[in-house]
Structure 1
């Protein structure tokens, strides 16, 4: 029997969730932005609701487990220390920079309960990179772990900023979190009036094409970001023929670094449902499979690279994926083959979000994803989508244009950078993503390429993602990146850097022939460099193409 589109076979599942009075109904403000009509308006309100989950396990790490009650008490105690001992006030910035410890979440949520502006920084930055961001946002408080304290100590001393160190070796001169008084579960957060329009976070862009910029999200924006994954989960349940919210709370193995917005989406979803977050100190596919079985993990969230490694490990293990029911990817473009490899009870989910959208705003799952593996899904009710031409007007369905977004979860701009803000945001609130996309008649968005990554070969547009997808379709290819290299006559030529699976025998000509089987001749890479080393990626899984270009500067291998 031929497959039918699961969405079209239902009356209108989205309407059930967004009708007046429904959980995800929206209103449109005077600025044209859509916002959810109900629900928390600040992250403080969102966090306070979780107190009701009491003794349910929330944060599970190798060193210890925090229940919701323990987590909330610890966050409240730390928030009171910020206001009563350090004298910090609403709007002061507080940097959070550490490995994925449970205390990362305690530190972050303490800032929200105290009305501070949390600035999560990339834990793998060098001292120079940290100094750039610290000079930019000028925090009064730094919350770091022992691995990072040496990189920020001089700055904190020079600027008289409070420095609190987590998981530090004994003997450190700084104040150690582990030596603070025990939290009193009877005490709540400090008396601070946190407003929806107040800034909640400054999250720095990944900086793959230049210096990172601090994207500033208000509490209202982050509250919208917290509602977005709940909407997509409810929609996926309806599409699968089940009732949203029923069944056990999720147990999620989330491998995104906490400083990245993709992690925010996962954590929000877990907290809203009273679920459990299982953490790993360092990624290892076999270790991840052990954790899935040991803790009854039902949801996996990570970049496509780690998801593929997990699927490979599960295929080689007689236990398989065990209790897993959802495999969700984000942070980078997902090869279409991921959806097809999720069988049985495991539902695939894919989505799209940016630092500037405070996390995921497009998503689809299950059969809809399997039927449309090249898409990243439909928007949430509080997110508008426009695929715009050069004049800013919408293009026809199926045509390529720049993806523009507008809605509740979008940031208000870049920290103290009006020029960058004006360049990225229109006066009426649309954000120019810099991604090339299409939208089909069903409202599904597909990302074609980055506007700056597109190769223009002799006047013909070559979308790198399309060529990368074709390369990933070859069974010997483990990873691939496509980029443009200079050509004296054509302007640019298509080049590819490919990592083959261990023991694979494919050569450049075989890979070119494979791509030529599905794409026009001008899209076939003129140059292919094979390498054994992993492709350079940032902490969230995006390929660092500027590093690959530097490696090809003297001419790519043919």
Structure 2
């Protein structure tokens, strides 16, 4: 099935084929030149000019000097101030005994302290563990224990959530709290005692930047991603994984310009309203890394508020925003939009959730901005494909073609045979962005990572030009506004309720959020439970966004196939009224 273009494109577009654009951009001596090296025993194309490590990037970014790096309310941190804070905190961590390979966990909302902690820990060879700040205490405790973090950084909200759980974290030697609102005791201390507040960073004493030998393929991060069964898995990423994204993002933008017939200029700093949490690879790897490299400005918000966002776009002349389709929809449809000057917006890009072609068209027509999309996952440290500008308008249901260092293929259900172009199968991806595997989970690693390829669990097809179309997810997962909800996790909580004997979680389409979770429940004979009661039960045990928005009760146990698997497609008819209203 061929996409229908959303607008009438210039007859001269594309000026270059994908192959010709790639040849120009990756030619010997070009910025995006590639070379083939052996990664974990597999010959792999890599970006020849990618930065070698996060430590290198943290030091090189100092050259941006007085340019503003982060803005949060009245706090503005320049690149020079960021460098001083990173160097000081890295030195302090070393003094605490943190060494190469130690895990340093980080659980906080988007604050100027977040990138300071991230780069400081990574620059001394520690493995940074960004934890989902929306998790409950139990979920956070699992991530800390599983990673074996010696040091845990939290903001005040996470600290309050951890007060009861903290004694059960035996591996944590130091609990460091940013913006604490109450006195701290025991192993807890204030981040401000180490590096001051963001207002203080520019005046910090300059200390020598710690020099730790770090190779591109050394361990750098553990980002947690849940599977369809069992506990969350930590994807073990390398410095090369994150540095690859800098080049991949630049390559995607340059390819779009060449396809339009325009020259590729040197990178210029941009201002981005960063509203997706930094504990996601989309924001950290695909977003933050490129901003650091290019000297761009990241604006953080305490929480998403569309009016406040429009105020910031107007005041700060924001060039880029997005993250998930929800953001674009709310900007487009807010009744007060006309009161704000949003003309500075050049790009609204997103990933992480399905998006409607209508959204792509409206971004272009109503904002005059170019839409952007892409495909990746935690196991690929974000970007594998890049979809932008006219290519996106021409193929609005595609996630784009892979970047030059990535390969895609569609495999049959058994993973034994590659299927022909146009047929649906499981999407496999390969390239220097693919992580090493799962932290301390060798069996899960062996199942998912095969000879350099990652089995994505997504059902997809490729067209004859290599554009990928994500058709469905083989993994039992719902994506609500960019947040992953794994059905088995919610189902297990529902099963724990004494009245529930059978249940299933399904995703309902939602025009703005992409999907919402809903549950079908069969109660034990003689027992009762209301929709509100079960929603409160889930909300008390899991992050709020995982709570079913609707629950339907059935008299019989749920329909299953011969293998005992619940036929979830048959259950969606129970929510037709709600799905129609949300579409």
Which residue matches 2:28?
20
1:208, CA displacement in angstroms?
6.8
Which residue matches 1:350?
373
Which residue matches 1:171?
183
* Equivalent pair of 1:130/1:151 in contact (CA under 8 Å): no
**Alignment partner of 1:424 is 2:451:** no
- Alignment RMSD (CA, Å): 3.2
Instruction: Normalising by structure 1, report the TM-score.
Output: 0.80
Mapped partners of 2:236, 2:399: distance in 1: 25
1:367-400 Cα shifts (integer Å, max 9, x gaps)? 1101100001111112111111234332221111
1:318, CA displacement in angstroms?
4.1
Of 32-41 and 398-407, more deviation after overlay is shown by: 32-41
Mapped partners of 2:505, 2:307: distance in 1: 36
Mapped partners of 2:404, 2:206: distance in 1: 38
* Equivalent pair of 1:229/1:268 in contact (CA under 8 Å): no
Which residue matches 1:110?
120
Alpha carbons of structure 1 residues 160 and 261: separation in structure 2 relative to 1, 3 Å: closer
Which residue matches 2:111?
101
Which residue matches 2:471?
448
**Alignment partner of 1:377 is 2:400:** yes
**Alignment partner of 1:436 is 2:459:** yes
Of 38-47 and 249-258, more deviation after overlay is shown by: 38-47
Which residue matches 1:388?
411
Of 157-166 and 107-116, more deviation after overlay is shown by: 157-166
Mapped partners of 1:157, 1:131: distance in 2: 7
Which residue matches 1:322?
343
Mapped partners of 2:544, 2:275: distance in 1: 15
Instruction: Normalising by structure 2, report the TM-score.
Output: 0.77
Given the alignment, which residue of 278, 291, 301 partners 1:258?
Answer: 278
**Alignment partner of 1:405 is 2:437:** no
Matches within 5 A, 1:41-120: 41-83=52-94, 85-120=95-130
* Equivalent pair of 2:384/2:402 in contact (CA under 8 Å): yes
1:322, CA displacement in angstroms?
2.0
1:206, CA displacement in angstroms?
4.5
Alpha carbons of structure 1 residues 39 and 314: separation in structure 2 relative to 1, 3 Å: farther
Which residue matches 1:9?
15
Mapped partners of 2:544, 2:246: distance in 1: 24
Which residue matches 2:496?
none
Alpha carbons of structure 1 residues 175 and 133: separation in structure 2 relative to 1, 3 Å: same
Alpha carbons of structure 1 residues 64 and 237: separation in structure 2 relative to 1, 3 Å: same
Mapped partners of 1:98, 1:152: distance in 2: 12
Given the alignment, which residue of 43, 46, 49 partners 1:38?
Answer: 49
1:420-445 Cα shifts (integer Å, max 9, x gaps)? 0011011x111000001111111111
1:289, CA displacement in angstroms?
0.9
Which residue matches 1:187?
207
**Alignment partner of 1:29 is 2:37:** yes
Given the alignment, which residue of 129, 134, 147 partners 1:124?
Answer: 134
Q: How many residues align?
A: 487
Mapped partners of 1:548, 1:151: distance in 2: 24
* Equivalent pair of 1:96/1:143 in contact (CA under 8 Å): yes
SS in 1 for 2:46: strand
Of 151-160 and 322-331, more deviation after overlay is shown by: 151-160
* Equivalent pair of 2:385/2:401 in contact (CA under 8 Å): yes
1:178, CA displacement in angstroms?
1.5
Alpha carbons of structure 1 residues 233 and 251: separation in structure 2 relative to 1, 3 Å: same
1:303-344 Cα shifts (integer Å, max 9, x gaps)? 111221112128842435221010001121222211101236
Alpha carbons of structure 1 residues 219 and 557: separation in structure 2 relative to 1, 3 Å: closer
Which residue matches 1:359?
382
